[in-house]
Amino acid sequence: MITRETSVVIIGGGPGGYEAALVAAQLGADVTIVEKDGLGGAAVLTDCVPSKALVATADQRADLDIAVRLGVRLGGPDRTAGDGVQVKASAVNRRILDLAAAQSRDIRRSLESVGVRVIDGVGRLVERGLVRADTSGNETVDVAADVVLLATGATPRVLPTAVPDGERILTWQQIYALDDLPERLVVIGSGVTGAELAQAYLGLGSAVTLVSSRERVLPGEDADAATQIESVFRERGMEVLSTSRAQGVERSGDGVVVTLTDGRTVEGSHALLAVGSVPQTAGLGLEHVGVELAESGHIAVDRVSRTSVPGIYAAGDCTGVLPLASVAAMQGRIAMWHALGDAVAPLNVRGVAANIFTDPEIATVGIGQRVADEMPDVQSVLLPLARNPRAKMQGIDAGFVKLFCRTGYGTVLGGVVVAPKASELIFPVALAVQNRLSVDAVASTITVYPSLSGSITEAARQLHQSE
């Protein structure tokens, strides 16, 4: 039985930390959260939320191009969508920062409303069961803890030869301070962050060069999806430099020069580093209590978020399990359910739906092509969206639905959707994967006509397993 005296101290107020705090408060614990930059964490203030708001702005402009293809004329008979449409970066960025700040305030309000004590400051472990916070008001506060949750996130990786200056050599956390749109942006790194932001700036009107260290962009993703997105990038005028690694970036007059490892150089007005993240574990006092780190520097945890030290849990990007806000939040909740004796199921990353907010979006759940290729009893089908009647009406010419199922049984094991708003379309596939539904169960569900989700039931129909 939990008593009010169970003291939970959480270091880090991102999704991993604040969602855990809400659960711990609900279970009757005495909860303190220590956050140094702002509630909501990097997810809300600099990473996930601002980037998705920027993408939403770019999408509005891209929709104008579709409108013109559908016969809409703007401003006169010969005007194309791009004519006269301008993006005011300062207004876009102001809106994004305001939106992030408002979300951070909402999170503070909801935490305080359930009695969570919020300390604005830097937290660290002094010994097992004791957290010290150096507050923004220059005080030192010690809080005794029966349970500690470390949810300190990660920070952008920077190259020693490309030191961000916040003006022209930028991390993704610094782009919202710009007053003007970069005229010629060089994005270094074609992982999810690089791909999303490169396309967003292209859509807003910047000339963009993407420096991709691999043969294709989004190397970790479904190859069919990544190949299609790279084609879209190139068709819309992005310069993609494949198998190119940045050696360093230097300022040069009013711009930057990016030197590649093969000696070539790329000039731009700005460079954006999107070369991954490093876990934020330095200075946390982990060595005082013996919390083990993995070789990558992440805090090692099991599927119920336990570290190597009893009573100390960790969640989110500092664990490196799967760097998504949704997963961080679930790891944090699981930690509290486990620590406070509530019913808990271990984290299942296979059921996690994820989305890349390019245009079109790429949404995935369950097994992917790579795993499917290694399993002898998996069947798959890929249906291009171009054949879908709704897609034709909406002027959608790229995208597809791919489904994986177990041969014989027909159980849905995974799927990939490449489409506008794929993040919404993946839900029925996620529901099928999570609940082990068969392709026949999906196929027998009547969808709206015409709708993009019709392609999901059609793919399921094509995977019907005959006796």
Determine which residue in the list 8, 10, 41, 275 makes contact with ligand FAD, applying CB under 6 A.
41
Residue 268 host element (H or E): strand 265-268
Minimum CB separation of residue 259 from ligand FAD in Å reads 25
196 is annotated as contributing to ligand binding: yes
Pick what 219 binds: ligand FAD, ligand NAD, none; C-beta below 5 to 8 Å, kind-dependent: ligand NAD
Structure tokens that stand for 184 in this block: 């010629």
Pick what 42 binds: ligand NAD, ligand FAD, none; C-beta below 5 to 8 Å, kind-dependent: ligand FAD
Contacts of 24 (CB under 8 A, 6+ apart): 8, 10, 31, 147, 336, 339, 340
83 is annotated as contributing to ligand binding: no
From 56-64, 187-195, 331-339, 387-395, give the range in contact with ligand NAD by CB under 6 A.
187-195
Q: Which CB, 41 or 368, lies closer to ligand FAD?
A: 41
Minimum CB separation of residue 384 from ligand NAD in Å reads 23
Pick what 191 binds: ligand NAD, ligand FAD, none; C-beta below 5 to 8 Å, kind-dependent: ligand NAD
Structure tokens that stand for 131 in this block: 């957290």
Cβ(180)–Cβ(90) below 8 Å: yes
Q: What is the dihedral of CA 393, 398, 404, 410, to 10 degrees?
A: 20
Give the footprint of ligand FAD on residues 286-345 (CB under 6 A). Answer: 316-317, 323-326, 328
Give the footprint of ligand NAD on residues 199-238 (CB under 6 A). Answer: 211, 213, 219
Residue-by-residue DSSP string for 79-135: --TTTT----HHHHHHHHHHHHHHHHHHHHHHHHHTT-EEEEEEEEEEETTEEEEEE
Give the footprint of ligand FAD on residues 65-124 (CB under 6 A). Answer: 122-124
Structure tokens that stand for 130 in this block: 């004791």
Contacts of 137 (CB under 8 A, 6+ apart): 120, 121
151 φ, ψ (degrees, to nearest 5)? -140, 60
Determine which residue in the list 17, 182, 191, 203 makes contact with ligand NAD, applying CB under 6 A.
191
Shortest CA distance to 116 belongs to which of 37, 27, 49, 41?
A: 27
Tell me which DSSP letter residue 446 carries: P
Query: Interface with ligand FAD includes 48 (CB under 6 A)?
Result: yes
Minimum CB separation of residue 329 from ligand FAD in Å reads 8
Provide the binding-site residues for ligand FAD, judged by CB under 6 A.
11-17, 34-37, 41-43, 47-48, 51-52, 122-124, 151-153, 172, 193, 280, 284, 316-317, 323-326, 328, 357
Provide the binding-site residues for ligand NAD, judged by CB under 6 A.
159, 188-194, 196, 211, 213, 219, 245-246, 274-277, 323-324, 354-357
